[in-house]
A and B are shown apart, each in its own frame.
Chain A
Amino acid sequence: MTAELVLQILLTVAVALVGVGLFGALSQQSIVMVMMGLELVLNGVLLAGGAAWYFLTPELPDAQVLVVVALVVMAVEMAMGFAVTVAIYRARQVDMVDMATDLRG
């Protein structure tokens, strides 16, 4: 199997993860499940970054650095997401996104 085909299959797997994660982030009501959807999107970015490095530019570190940035974004998202969850639950016993629509336009 040619390398180009493997790259395309891997990127398709990555966008499948992005699609599933997007569905979850948009459809779930519980705040923690929304965060899990966002994590799944970033999981796809990790996979796409790794595949791009191996098949397209292994001589450059850029794709690897992109994967590192995606990992950091995951960590920041989790930390801030949990902090916001704790804060809003403490203030108003809210654990669902439908109960926190103050900023709705």
Chain B
Amino acid sequence: MTELSGWAFTAVAVLGVLSVAAGIAVFVVDSMARATFALLASFLAVAGVLLALDLVYLAVVTALMMTIEMAVMAVFMIMFMMNPAGLMPMTMVHNAKGSAVIGAATFVVLAVGIWTIDWPTRNPPRPDDSTRQLGEAIMGSHMLVMLVIGISLFATILAGTVLATARGRYDRFGPDLDADRPDDPVPGGFRR
């Protein structure tokens, strides 16, 4: 296995601790907005670890995607949550003890596996450029993954739009979907 250089090891250690600490903070802080930014800190710490592991492209994608995603999430927090600013301390949990036991048990089982397995000690050749390796894979040998990703994202766009639309088919064609003409507030649209 390849050893990490000194600075990379330091970065990985600090960012690893930071990612878990920020992850715990997500469910500890009162304010939903603070929870969102704690989650962002956790993602950015993991992106930093990926950067130290030579995965430059994936690190940048993670950092950019998660920054925007958390910004969107903060907006939704303020839209939907009853206590977005955390001005009055309140806990909104159910079955906290059972959930903590399940979370801790999962951690223990996986950690026992990690620390008891004999990991292979070999020295495989390293690629010069990890981004090139990934790009050639998803455009060549692993193209099926890229095809499935593309179709999934397209289906997500359609499904998200359909779900978020205020008026559905029952609003347009009646409860039994048997209206001859759709009841639309503006002219135009499907089946007119």
Contacts and interface: CB of A to CB of B under 8 A. Distances in A.
A102 interface: no
Contact of B76 (A1, A15, A32): A32
Contact residues of B: prevailing secondary structure: helix
Most buried by A among B26, B138, B157: B26
Interface in B1-59: 1-4, 9, 12-13, 16-17, 19-20, 23-24, 26-27, 32, 35-36, 39, 42-43, 46, 49-50, 53-55, 58
Contacts of A33: 27, 32, 35, 92
Interface string B135-163: 01110011001000100110011011101
Interface in B57-95: 58, 61-62, 65, 69, 72-73, 76-77, 80-82, 92-95
A2 B17 CA distance: 19
B115 A8 contact: yes
Given A16-B20, A36-B36, A96-B92, A79 B156 contact: yes
Contacts of A12: 111, 114-115
Contact of A18 (B49, B106, B163): B106
A5 B76 CA distance: 41
B106 A50 contact: no
Interface residues of A, number: 73
Nearest to A55: B1
Contacts of B102: 22-23, 26
Contacts of A51: 49, 53
Nearest to B38: A36
Contact of A27 (B12, B23, B93): B93
A3 to B, nearest CB: 4
Interface string A30-62: 111101110110010011001101111111011
Contact of A85 (B76, B92, B145): B76
16 contacts: A6-B12, A8-B119, A9-B13, A15-B111, A16-B23, A17-B19, A20-B20, A28-B92, A33-B27, A37-B26, A47-B46, A50-B46, A50-B50, A59-B124, A83-B164, A89-B80
Which are the 7 A-B pairs with shortest beta-carbon distances?
A: A23-B103, A19-B107, A61-B137, A3-B1, A27-B99, A26-B99, A83-B163
